[in-house]
Structure 1
Amino acid sequence: MAQKAAKTLATRNAATLSRTHLISAALHILFLILHFVFGRPRSLKPYFFLAVPTLAIEYYLDLVGRPKFNPDGSLRTAGEDLNATGLTEYMWDVLYWTHGCIFAACVFNDRAWWLWIVIPFYSVYLAYTTVMGVKKGFAGMGGGSAESDARQGPKSKTQMKKEKRGDRPKQRAVR
């Protein structure tokens, strides 16, 4: 059963990587053809500064996600899961956003490279939400008593009815 899961992962990774390489090659070739053949005013400086690092990301994703086979054709390793969350997901986001920026630069000229500024803002947003999530997770670990937690938490319908009648919830002694 585990071998079936590995084969499925290997097939999915190979298809994802092939599709990504084709899209990336088509966009880069389109940009370079528009720059060199048609002589449209495009600067190569932002292209190399912003698009070439994503080629390194693409190479890294290929390195860790490409399935490897034995000489007899059997699967040696399926590679890492390219649909994993965390850093892998962020790298895909950067790669896809850069593909969009290259396409926009082909259509709208060099001003479209300014769209790339979204990536640092997105990084700050992800870092902020991660820190706040960790902080929220640690908030309930100590410092508060059960009595203060009961007052702050949501109340059930039964608790609200008892309070309305004047009944107070009974506190149990902690042993």
Structure 2
Amino acid sequence: MAGKARKDLAKANVAALSTLHIGSLVFNGAFIVFSLIFRSRSLVTYAVLSIPAFACQYILESSGRPKYTTLNGKSSLKSAGEDLAAPGLTEYLFDVVWVTWACLLAVLALGDKAWWLFAIVPVFGLWKGWGLIGAARGMLGGPQGQPQGGEEQQQAAPQNRRQRRMAA
């Protein structure tokens, strides 16, 4: 059973990476062709602001690509790679790529001023980081803003089921 789960994860990762790379080729290729042939767009800005998306794609590729070993002419799965459908950092890496693609389309449609939409990425990162800081504060310091009487009531409450029944 575990082997089947690893193989399924490897197939899902290969499909996700294939979709990611094809999408990247389509969006970036269309932007470059459109910029060179139809309307001039800032290729320097494109190069600088596409670096985070390319870095995210590289991280997703290196961590999510399944690895195989060949022994006596037979290929076997060595590692399925990290789950690319997992929430958290993996999800944020995909979000950076998708926001970059949306910015490419906006720049093609609206002009170079649309690169300001890319400011969503650091703002989103700060917002998520602030949420993590708030969660860490809550874990370290306990709940904030609770009246002092609430702590006493919480401590006085019976700890297990039997004690609750006896108290009632």
Where on the TM-score scale, by shorter chain, does this alignment land: which range? 0.7 to 0.9
Does the residue aligned with 1:51 lie in a helix, a strand or coil?
Answer: helix
- Would you tell me which structure has more helix in proportion to its own residues? 2
Alignment correspondent of 1:21: 21
Matched residue type, 2:126: V
Give the superposition deviation at 1:94.
0.8
User: Does the CA contact (< 8 Å) of 1:30 and 1:106 recur in 2?
Assistant: no
- Is it true that 1:94 corresponds to 2:96 in the alignment? yes
Structure-2 residue corresponding to 1:70: 69
- The alignment's TM-score, normalised by the length of structure 2, stands at 0.80
Specify which of 130, 133, 140 is matched with residue 131 of structure 1.
133
Long gaps (5+) in structure 1: 153-171
Higher-Rg structure is 1
Instruction: Percent identity, please.
Output: 37
The 1-side partners of 2:136 and 2:117 are apart by 30
Alignment partners' CA distance in 2, 1:41 and 1:132: 45
What RMSD over aligned residues (CA atoms) do the two structures have, in Å? Answer: 2.3
Deviations 1:108-153 (A, max 9, x none): 2212111000111111100111111121223338xx9x9542558x
| Alignment gaps of 5+ in structure 2 | 155-166
Maintained 8 Å contact 1:14/1:66: yes
Report the Cα offset of residue 102 of structure 1: 1.0
Q: CA deviation at 1:82?
A: 1.2
Q: Which amino acid letter does the alignment assign opposite residue 93 of structure 2?
A: M
What secondary structure, in the 3-state scheme, does the structure 1 residue paired with 2:41 have? coil
Moved over 4 A (4+): none
